Amino acid sequence: MEVIRLQYPNEFKINENENIAIALGFFDGLHIGHQKVINKMIEIADKKGLKKAVLTFDPHPSVVLNPKQQRTTYITPLPIKERILEEYGVDYLFVINFSSTFAKLSPETFVREYLIGNNVKEVIAGFDFSYGSLGKGSISTLEQYKEFNTTSIVKEIDHEKKISTTRIRKLLSEDKLEEANRLLGRSYGIEGIVVQGEKRGRTIGFPTANIEPSFKYFLPSLGVYAVTMTIGSDPKIYKGVASIGVKPTFHENHKVTIEVHIIDYDQTIYGETVMVYWEHFIRHELKFDGLDALIEAIQDDKNKAIELLKDK
C-alpha cells in the first residue's frame, strides 16, 4: 500500500492510467461500521477493475473545528490505521493534513482537487459523511457529480444505537470493555515499548512489564484488566493481568502508567515492542492500606484473569 500525504493546495495527481474507487472518512477505530464502508469499496473496485483507495485526515478535524472538545487521542492512531488498511489490500491511502486552511475549502474545491483530479470513479462513504467549509458538503452533494458514482452506506446499528467511535470511546471509559470490543470487531489493542519501571512488582512476587504507548492512544478507564499480549514479531499469545493507573497505594498525583504481569513468564523484555489486547475489565483501581492487602488483591486479580482468559 502506498501512503500519500496531501496538503492544501493539492499538487499531487495520481497516474492518469489508474482509475480509483475511494472510501472517505476519518475511520478512527476501524470499527464494524467503518469496515462496512471499506468492504463495500473493495467489492466495487474488484467488480469494476479499479484501484482501491481510502482517504482520511490527520489530525482529527476537531483540533481545528472544535478546540474545546478536540480529539488528540485515538483508538487507531494513524500508523496503526495504515497497517490495518494494508491488511485489507488497499492500494492507496491518502492522508490529508486537516489544517485551518484546508477547513475553509469549499465543497466544490475539495471534490475537484482531491477526487476528480485523482481519477476517482467510485466514492463510498457513510450516510453522515460531510466535507468542505462548515461541513456544507454531504452525500447528497456528492451524488450530483457525473464524474463518479456515489455509494452511501447506511447507519450501522447495534442495540438500537448507532455504532460510532464516540460510542466506543464512551464504553472504554465506562468499563464496558466487552461491548466496546464487540463493536470494534476485535479486541482493543495498544502498542508500546517495554521500559524500565520502579521494579516494585518483582519485590512482591508479581513482576510487571511497564508499557510506554508508542502513539497517542485513547486509554480505557483506570483499573485492572485481563489482557493478552504479543512480544516483538513473535506471534505467540501470552496471557496477563494489566493495570492502568497512578499506583495510589504508593503515589499521589503520579502520572498514569500501564503495567502488565505476564502469567507464567519470567524473561526480561526491556526495549521490546509489544501489543496489549484488552479483553476483560476486572475492577477499578484502589488504594490499599498496606502491601499485604495489595498482594492479596493482585493474586485475586491474577486468578480472575486466568479464568476469564481460559478460552484464549
What residues contact residue 282 under an 8 Å CB cut-off, 6+ apart? 223, 224, 225, 226, 241, 301, 304, 305, 308
Task: Report if residue 144 sits inside a domain.
Answer: yes
What is the pLDDT, as a whole number, of residue 32?
97
256 and 120, same domain (yes or no): no
User: Who has greater pLDDT, 47 or 298?
Assistant: 47
Residue 281: its pLDDT value, please?
A: 98
Model pLDDT, residue 293:
79
Is residue 231 included in any domain, yes or no? yes
* Residue 87: other Cβ atoms inside 10 A: 9
Provide the pLDDT for residue 114.
96
Between residues 249 and 109, the one the model is more confident about: 109
Neighbours of 249 (CB within 10 A): 17
Which residues, including other chains, have CB under 8 Å from residue 300's CB and lie 6 or more apart? none
Q: Are residues 9 and 130 in the same domain?
A: yes
Residue 165 lies in a domain: no
- Going by pLDDT thresholds of 50, 70 and 90, the confidence category of residue 99 is very high
**CA distances from residue 219 to 75, 177, 309 in whole angstroms, order as listed:** 8, 11, 21
What pLDDT shows up at residue 29? 96
| pLDDT of 285 strictly over 80 | yes
pTM of the full structure: 0.92
Residue 92: strand pairing partners: 2, 53
Handedness of CA 113, 108, 98, 168 (dihedral sign): negative
Q: What is the CATH number of the domain that holds 210?
A: 2.40.30.30
- The DSSP bridge partners found for residue 20 are 51, 120
State the burial class of residue 262 (Cβ atoms within 10 Å of its Cβ: 0-12, 13-18, 19+). Answer: buried
Q: Answer yes or no: do 216 and 276 share one domain.
A: yes
C-beta atoms surrounding 247 within 10 Å = 19
Rg of the chain over Cα atoms, rounded to whole angstroms, equals 22
145 contact partners, CB below 8 Å, separation of at least 6: 111, 116
- Taking each helix axis from N to C end, the angle separating 177-184 and 165-173, rounded to the nearest 10 degrees, works out to 160
Query: What does DSSP assign to residue 11?
Result: -
Query: What integer pLDDT is reported at residue 226 of this predicted model?
Result: 98
Q: Per residue in 81-97, pLDDT tens?
A: 999 999 999 999 999 99
Domain annotation covers residue 36: yes
pLDDT of residue 251: 63
Q: Are residues 117 and 237 in the same domain?
A: no
pLDDT per residue as tens digits for the range 202-239: 665 678 899 999 999 999 999 999 999 999 999 999 99
Per-residue pLDDT at 124? 98
Q: What's the pLDDT score for residue 236?
A: 95
| Percent of the chain clearing pLDDT 70 (strictly above) | 94
The answer to whether residue 151 scores a pLDDT higher than 60 is yes
What sign does the CA torsion over 112, 117, 118, 119 have?
A: positive
Helices (H), the chain: 32-48, 62-65, 78-87, 100-103, 107-110, 139-142, 165-173, 177-184, 200-203, 291-308
Half-sphere CA count of 225, side-chain side, radius 13 A:
29
17-21, 274-278, 296-300: range with lowest mean pLDDT: 296-300
Q: Is 253 left (phi over 0), alpha (psi -120 to 50) or beta?
A: left
Q: Are residues 20 and 147 in the same domain?
A: yes
Same domain, 148 and 258: no
Across residues 139-155, what is the average pLDDT? 97
Same domain, 230 and 153: no
- Provide the pLDDT for residue 46: 98
Q: What pLDDT does 160 receive?
A: 87
Q: Residue for cell digits 493478552?
A: 228
Band of residue 69 on the pLDDT scale cut at 50, 70, 90? confident
What pLDDT score was predicted for residue 201?
A: 57
pLDDT tens profile 11-68: 888 888 899 999 999 999 999 999 999 999 999 999 999 999 999 999 999 999 988 8
Which residues, at least 6 apart from 176, have a Cβ–Cβ distance to it below 8 Å?
281
Looking at the fold, whether 141 and 264 belong to one and the same domain comes out as no
The CATH number covering residue 119 comes to 3.40.50.620
Structural domain for 132, as ranges = 2-157
Give the span between the Cα atoms of 280 and 7, in whole angstroms. Answer: 41
- Please report whether residue 166 resides in a domain: no
The domain total for the chain is: 2
Q: How far apart are CA 152 and CA 9, in angstroms?
A: 27
> Quick one: pLDDT at residue 192?
98
- pLDDT of 289 > 80? The answer is no
